[in-house]
Amino acid sequence: MIPISRIVHALEPSATLAMAAKAKELKGSGKKVYDLSVGEPDFITPQHIRDAAVVAMNAGHTKYTLASGIPELKNAIAARYNADYGADHGADHGAVEYGAGHVVVANGAKHALHNAFFATLDPGDEVIIPAPYWVSYAELVKLSGAVPVIVPTEENTGFKMTAAQFRAAITPKTKMLLLCSPSNPTGTMYSGEELGALADIVLEKDLFVVADEIYGKLVYPGNTFVSFPTLRPGLMDRTIVINGVSKTYAMTGWRIGWTLAPLHLSKKMGELQSQETSNPCSISQYAALTALTGDQGCVSEMLAEFTRRRDFVSERIKSIDGLSCPEMAGAFYAFFNVRKYLGRKLGGVQIDTSEQFCLELLTRKCVATVMGSSFGCEGYVRASFATDMDTLKEAFDKIEEFLKS
Ligand SMILES: Cc1ncc(COP(=O)(O)O)c(C=O)c1O
């Protein structure tokens, strides 16, 4: 038997994709499944973006590109960042201005994260990750030989790591802080002040930050997103921003994400990518270019629909006995507390863990969710509301029936 390497042997498969696969299996057996497992907008990619891909294909943009992406797209990524968060955004936000050289376009934000970790971490380096965290973070850090240091947070602080918790987790081996705001899985978002307190420690302790800002455009009315490098002078040299088109423009299948990073690091990440995967799909890059430079009305339309769903899901969770979740400020997930239902029987079956909870809910009521344990937070369940209202309504009716069984 061909042996599996130690590092890959230790890899956990993605729990969200595993739940989605189980849901598909049930669907395949003819059952109606309410799938709240996967973080993927249900909308089809907007028409003008799809059209741009067809035009690109017919114009012959079907060949290798620069490994780090076509210059037009890199320029557009930098320009959009600068326009949204850069110099014109008031006194606090004056320092940051990116150019095309700061950008590496990757095969999705997940790949951008891999580039970021692989290019900066050495074996034994510690990366601080507040929990609950997105399922892939710890595994991607481990793949680079570094050590994830998980800092548990609480529902009553919106699952946000405080400056004191951050400080307490730092050791001489700490190299990096990994932040995701708005957060997958909790939907909560750090305020500028909260991020500023973390940023001060980053500067004081000479650390680096990976700021996953993939949900930065999916922020609900009344909340303000602040991009990490804009918080303090000097942070641009210490931060790798992760972003992409998957969530904002409903383009999960096109596989375009990117890093914004200091020039010397971007150059190295481009070289890494040139050896590992070459360029991301040429046609997808042209589609992403249109997404970023075209009419942004599609983003507001999708956000309006997500807001309606967020309000509905939030109300339903509050109305069900024993469930709770913090207010969702962005992204499209509810991370709800099911502790009251653990350690007892539901429908005659003993449920002790969030994993058993989710498996029983899927088997008995055909509602697919993801267990909190896979996000490093037992006692909770994540439901994605990137699905239509009818599915959400029926799914929450089923969840309520399940809890009463
Ligand atoms: C927080 C976070 N970062 C990154 C990604 C990866 O996105 P992409 O589809 O661009 O690889 C996801 C997708 O679920 C995510 O939730």
CATH code, domain carrying 64: 3.40.640.10
Amino acid (1-letter code) at residue 336: F
Residue 62 lies in a domain: yes
- The model's confidence at residue 176, banded by pLDDT at 50, 70 and 90, is very high
Give dist(CA 233, CA 351) in Å, integer.
50
Q: Indicate whether 287 pLDDT > 60.
A: yes
Is 142 in the same domain as 265?
yes
Give dist(CA 122, CA 73) in Å, integer.
31
Q: Which of 321, 119, 333, 117 shows the shortest CA–CA distance to 214? A: 333
Report, as an integer, the average pLDDT of 219-231.
Answer: 96
Amino acid (1-letter code) at residue 383: A
Residue nearest atom 14 of ligand 1, based on CA coordinates: 39
pLDDT in tens, 234-261: 999 999 999 999 999 999 999 999 999 9
For residue 109, the ligand 1 atom closest to its alpha carbon is 10
Structural domain span for residue 329: 6-44+298-404
CA dihedral 226, 230, 232, 237 (to 10 degrees): 130
Query: What are the residues whose beta carbons fall under 8 Å from the beta carbon of 82, sequence distance 6 or more?
Result: 96, 97, 98
Is 174 in the same domain as 117?
yes
Give dist(CA 104, CA 270) in Å, integer.
6
Please identify, among 247, 278, 294, the residue that sits at the C-terminal boundary of a domain. Answer: 294
Is 96 in the same domain as 12?
no
Exposed / middle / buried, residue 156 (Cβ in 10 Å: 0-12, 13-18, 19+): exposed
Q: Judge whether 333 and 385 are in contact, CB under 8 Å.
A: yes
Is 317 in the same domain as 266?
no
Q: How many domains does the chain have?
A: 2
As for ligand 1, residues whose beta carbon falls within 6 Å of it are: 39, 108-110, 134, 180, 184, 212, 214, 244, 246, 252, 257
Residue 138 lies in a domain: yes
Is 37 in the same domain as 52?
no
Is 53 in the same domain as 35?
no
Percentage of residues in the chain having pLDDT higher than 70 = 98
Q: Judge whether 159 and 188 are in contact, CB under 8 Å.
A: yes
Half-sphere CA count of 356, side-chain side, radius 13 A: 14
pLDDT in tens, 376-395: 999 999 999 999 999 999 99
Report the residue among 77, 117, 214 best suited for mutation to probe ligand 1: largest number of ligand atoms under 8 A from its CB: 214
Is 229 in the same domain as 314?
no
Percentage of residues in the chain having pLDDT higher than 90 = 89
Give dist(CA 264, CA 266) in Å, integer.
6
